C-alpha cells in the first residue's frame, strides 16, 4: 500500500514542478531595449542612456524601457512628498 501511494505522491510533485525563468534584465545598465521580431521578442539591456537606446530603436519594432533591476539606482533622500507648511 505504501509503494503506490509514494509513487503517486512523487508523480504529483514531479508534475507540479515548473522551471524558473531567468532574469532577462542586466542590472549593470539603466535602460533596456525590448525588440519584437517575427520569430519572437528579446530584451537587450546594454544602454547607458535613454537617448542611446532610442537611437538604436529608431526604425525598428522596439521600445526603450527603464530597467527595473538596475543595481546603481539612486533613491533621493528625504520624503517623497513636499513638506506641509504651518497654518
51: pLDDT confidence band, cut at 50, 70 and 90?
very high
* Residue 9 maps to a domain: no
22: pLDDT confidence band, cut at 50, 70 and 90?
low
Kindly report whether the global pTM for this prediction surpasses the value 0.75. Answer: no
* Residue 11 maps to a domain: no
d(CA 84, CA 63): 39
Q: Cell for 30?
A: 539603466
* Residue 35 maps to a domain: yes
* Residue 12 maps to a domain: no
* Residue 64 maps to a domain: yes
Quick check: 38 pLDDT over 60? yes
* Residue 51 maps to a domain: yes
* Residue 54 maps to a domain: yes
DSSP state of 83: P
d(CA 8, CA 18): 18
Quick check: 77 pLDDT over 70? no
Q: For position 82, what pLDDT does the model report?
A: 56
Which residues form the domain of 59? 22-72
Q: How many domains does the chain have?
A: 1
Amino acid at each position: 500500500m505504501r509503494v503506490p501511494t509514494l509513487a503517486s505522491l512523487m508523480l504529483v510533485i514531479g508534475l507540479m514542478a515548473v522551471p524558473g525563468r531567468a532574469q532577462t534584465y542586466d542590472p549593470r545598465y539603466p535602460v533596456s531595449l525590448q525588440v519584437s521580431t517575427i520569430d519572437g521578442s528579446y530584451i537587450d539591456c546594454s544602454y547607458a542612456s535613454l537617448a542611446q537606446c532610442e537611437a538604436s530603436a529608431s526604425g525598428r519594432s522596439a521600445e526603450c524601457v527603464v530597467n527595473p533591476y538596475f543595481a546603481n539606482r539612486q533613491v533621493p533622500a528625504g520624503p517623497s512628498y513636499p513638506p506641509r507648511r504651518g497654518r
